[in-house]
Amino acid sequence: MITVDVTLNDAGQVTDVIMDGHAEHGEYGHDIVCAGASAVLFGSVNAIMGLTSEKPDIDYNDDGGYFHVRSVDTTNEQAQLILQAMLVSLQTIEEEYKENIRLNYK
């Protein structure tokens, strides 16, 4: 299962996101849950770096299964909007594939 741990501050802004694990919905390379969740996360981080002044701190495993993004300025409204959109997309995947992905808010 993919777990997505999302840390929010008191104002509901995203401060930290960790995606960990494997969906195990299909064969490696053919897993639509993994592909969808990864595309949402990578696309969102790329959008933050390409469309805003933010350069988040990123940590990941080369072989997949772990991605950590942090240090996004909570006062950067554009970056926060992209992160909120990312969460909506991940929640949509979670609604359809509850056995394969879970979002946890802290």
Q: pLDDT tens digits, residue range 12-43? A: 999 999 999 999 898 887 899 999 999 999 99
**Residue ranges of domains in the chain:** 2-105
- At 63 the pLDDT is 81
Domain 2-105, CATH among 3.30.70.1490, 3.40.640.10, 3.30.70.100, 3.40.50.720: 3.30.70.1490
Which of 48, 36, 50, 27 is CA-nearest to residue 97?
36
Contacts by residues 43-48 (CB-CB < 8 Å, ≥ 24 positions apart): 44/82, 44/83, 44/85, 44/86, 44/89, 45/69, 47/82, 48/72, 48/79, 48/82, 48/83
CA distance 65 to 2: 8
Q: pLDDT tens digits, residue range 58-81? A: 999 988 899 999 988 999 999 999
Catalytic residues: 22, 34
Residue 55 has pLDDT above 90, yes or no: yes
